[in-house]
Structure 1
Amino acid sequence: MELLFLLGSIIWNTVISLALSLLLPFRLLLRWLLPSDDDGGLTLYEGVVWHERRRPVHHSFQYNVRSLLTIPPSVGYEQNPLSLYYCYELEDSTASLKKCIAEVTNTPWGERVTFVFDPSSDVVAKALHVSPFMDMQGSWKMKATAPGRDLSVVISVQHPDLGEHFCAVLRAQRVSSSNAPDQMFFFWLMPHKVAVWIYWHALKLWWKSVSFVQHPRYSYPAYREEAVSLDKKLNCCKAGVYGTSGVCLREDKDVVGHQFSWTDAKWPWS
């Protein structure tokens, strides 16, 4: 059922996107005849996303991406693995980046987890099944710079058996306002390109005989509670002071945690 739904959704989204793409010239003409300043406050970025899987087999690729710290829908289709929201502290008219909110969405299920992390460097328990070729063990090591002329986001997966076996990096530059194109064309088919890269490289991993990992909701429904428990352990003892039984010996009671919030998948993935 799920495979049939996936194939059907690909065909449906292809037809809808093709039809809406044919209407783009008319929308552009309408915006030229009736100009507005709705997009004046948006900052656009253009850069490269690089993925590297080191173990159990080596596999890497990169692709160009256009974003405004999220990838908006284009011609009826949405595909946005990661959105970041930046939280600043104002002091004497000076803004300093204090926290980031990450919104991670998996493909094709469409589940979502949102959490807070320290952009300077943080370790977050893995709280979402993001790939059918990765298990739920381990944690995400995350780092992000404040958006300016340039921005970067680095996420690596730390696994208890495989070590730091996966890394994803985004490096982007701000698009000059004088050169910024119309957003409909700037983001045209961007979600589709991301989806193609995801599915194509999933097929290549399968071809390389990387083990397929079933969604944990079938084999271990309590995986979210397990992620919260692991995250508390990571936060209460960031200095790494544990006893032989795994009990935290130095607890930081001021640590709030990453405040996970999940959004369930919709039918038929639910």
Structure 2
Amino acid sequence: MTMDFDYHWQITPPGRTLSVHIENWRTGHRAFEATLSLQRRPITSRNLAAALVRHPLMTARVFLAIYWQAVRLWWRGATFQPHPKHTDAASPGNGEQAPPERVGDIGKTDTSIS
């Protein structure tokens, strides 16, 4: 799968809760969608210990899982897909953010920066 997508982000202002929603679009069709919803908790010794017990060595587990998946894909003959290059300086991928399209949107941006 190539990386030439438009990315639509929706992020709520941080408060008691935080929500991040992303949609990947290509040629007018949504190819991927994900949402992350979080609740604020105070940083206390008890909460930190509870998180460590619930998720021991999470960073190492995620790191190993990513590279294990990469090895499995390589074994199956998957090829590396480089990031698409943008030659037009006025393209949406130049780091500028487009204005929001809907209430609650941070904005619709193409974050594929070369």
| TM-score in terms of structure 1 length | 0.27
Deviation by residue 1:10-38 (Cα, 9 ceiling, x = unmatched): xxxxxxxxxxxxxxxxxxxxxxxxxxxxx
Distance 2:25 2:7 in 1: 6
Deviation by residue 1:210-250 (Cα, 9 ceiling, x = unmatched): 9644314xxx6xx1445x54317x949x7xxxxxxxxxxxx
How far 1:199 sits from its partner (Å)?
3.4
CA contact (8 A) 1:135 1:213 kept: no
Q: CA RMSD in A?
A: 4.0
- Larger Cα-atom Rg: 1
1:166-181 equivalent positions in 2, closer than 5 A: 166-178=32-44, 179-181=46-48
CA contact (8 A) 1:156 1:167 kept: yes
Matching residue of 1:164: 30
Matching residue of 2:22: 155
1:243-258 equivalent positions in 2, closer than 5 A: none
How far 1:202 sits from its partner (Å)?
4.7
Distance 2:35 2:77 in 1: 22
Deviation by residue 1:44-99 (Cα, 9 ceiling, x = unmatched): xxxxxxxxxxxxxxxxxxxxxxxxxxxxxxxxxxxxxxxxxxxxxxxxxxxxxxxx
CA contact (8 A) 1:143 1:153 kept: yes
**With CA pairs under 8 Å and 6+ residues apart, which has the higher RCO, 1 or 2?**
2
Deviation by residue 1:151-177 (Cα, 9 ceiling, x = unmatched): 11111110127x211123212222244
- 212 and 195 in structure 1: CA distance in 2 versus 1, 3 angstrom threshold: same
1:213-252 equivalent positions in 2, closer than 5 A: 213-216=80-83, 223-226=85-88, 229-231=90-92, 235=98
1:31-180 equivalent positions in 2, closer than 5 A: 134-160=1-27, 163-178=29-44, 179-180=46-47
Instruction: Structure 1: state its 5+ residue gaps.
Output: 1-133, 239-257, 265-270
1:180-195 equivalent positions in 2, closer than 5 A: 180-181=47-48, 185=52, 189-195=57-63
Find the residue that maps to 2:92 and give its secondary structure. Answer: helix
CA contact (8 A) 2:3 2:81 kept: no
Distance 1:181 1:235 in 2: 38
CA contact (8 A) 1:153 1:169 kept: yes
Q: How many pairs are equivalent?
A: 95
Find the residue that maps to 2:91 and give its secondary structure. Answer: helix
How far 1:145 sits from its partner (Å)?
1.2
| TM-score in terms of structure 2 length | 0.54
Distance 1:213 1:159 in 2: 20
